[in-house]
Amino acid sequence: MINKRVTDKTKKVIKIIAALIFVISLFVSWVLPEQDLLPFAKEVLPQAQSFQKVTSSPLIYEGIVQGRDGKTQRVGYVVIDRAVGYSGPIQMATGIDLEGKIQKTVLVNYKDTPSFVQTVLSRDYLKRFIGKDITEPLSIEKDIDRVSGATYTSRGIAKAISQGSHAVARTEFKSDVLEEEAAFKFGAKEIIVLLLVILMLIGIVLKSKKIRWVTLIGSLIFIGFKYNTPFSLANVAALLMGNFPSIRENLAWYIVMVGIPIITFVVGRNLYCYWLCPFGALQEILSKLGGGSFKCCNKKIETNAAKIKYALVYFALLASILFQSPGLAGYEPYSTLFGLQGFGIAWIILPLVLFPSLLIRRFWCHFFCPGMVFNEFIIRLRSLNINKMINKKTTVLETDATLKDEVR
Range 206-230 average pLDDT: 94
User: Does some domain include residue 368?
Assistant: yes
- The length of the chain, given as a count of residues: 408
- Maximum Cα–Cα distance for the chain, whole Å? 103
Report yes or no on 4 lying in a domain: no
Task: Give the pTM.
Answer: 0.76
Do residues 210 and 350 both lie within one domain? yes
Residue 281 lies in a domain: yes
pLDDT of residue 402: 42
Average predicted confidence (pLDDT) for the chain = 84
> Is pLDDT at 190 greater than 80 in this prediction?
yes
Q: Are residues 367 and 292 in the same domain?
A: yes
| 227 and 256 together in one domain | yes
Q: Is the pLDDT assigned to residue 119 strictly greater than 80?
A: yes
Q: What is the pLDDT of residues 294-303, one digit of tens each?
A: 877 778 888 8
CATH code for position 81: 3.90.1010
Residue 4: pLDDT band (50, 70, 90) is low
pLDDT at 389: 56
Both 249 and 155 in a single domain? no
Does residue 285 lie in a domain region? yes
Q: What is the pLDDT of residue 49?
A: 92
Look at residue 29 and tell me if it is in a domain: no
Q: How far is CA 237 from CA 92, 113, 241, 248, in A?
A: 21, 11, 6, 21
Using CA atoms, how far apart are residues 268 and 118, in angstroms rounded to an integer?
39
Q: Over 90: is that where the pLDDT of 275 sits?
A: yes
Q: Quick check: is 204 in a domain?
A: yes
240 and 325 in a common domain: yes
Over residues 328-339, the mean pLDDT reads 85
Domain that holds residue 128: 50-171
pLDDT value at position 249?
80
Same domain for 167 and 192, yes or no, is no
What is the pLDDT confidence band of residue 265, given thresholds at 50, 70 and 90?
A: very high
Residues 239 and 294 in one domain: yes
Kindly tell me if the per-residue pLDDT of 327 is higher than 90. Answer: no
- Indicate if the pLDDT at residue 351 is higher than 60: yes
Cis amide prior to 46 (ω within 30 degrees) = no
- In this predicted structure, the answer to whether residue 274 has a pLDDT above a threshold of 50 is yes
pLDDT exceeds 80 at position 161: yes
Residue 102 to residue 162: CA distance in whole angstroms: 10
Please name which of 133, 176, 123 lies closest in space to residue 142, comparing C-alpha atoms.
133
Q: How many structural domains does the chain have?
A: 2
Beta bridge partners of 73: 65
Based on the fold, state whether residues 241 and 121 are members of the same structural domain: no
Q: 34 pLDDT exceeds 70?
A: no
Domain boundary among 171, 206, 225: 171
pLDDT digits (tens, 9 = 90+) for 8-23: 677 777 778 877 887 7
CB-CB neighbours of 156 under 10 Å? 31
Residue 122 has pLDDT above 70, yes or no: yes
Residue 19 lies in a domain: no
Other CB atoms within a 10 A radius of the CB of residue 190 amount to 18
pLDDT for the residue 80: 94
Query: Between the CA atoms of 186, 190, 194 and 199, what dihedral angle is there, to the nearest 10 degrees?
Result: 130
- Checking if the pLDDT of 142 tops 90, the result is no
Q: What is the pLDDT of residue 102?
A: 95
- Which ranges of 176-296 does DSSP label H, i.e. alpha helix? 188-206, 209-219, 233-240, 251-254, 260-267, 271, 278-290
Is the pLDDT score of 391 beyond 70? no
Reported confidence tier of residue 32, pLDDT bands at 50, 70, 90: low
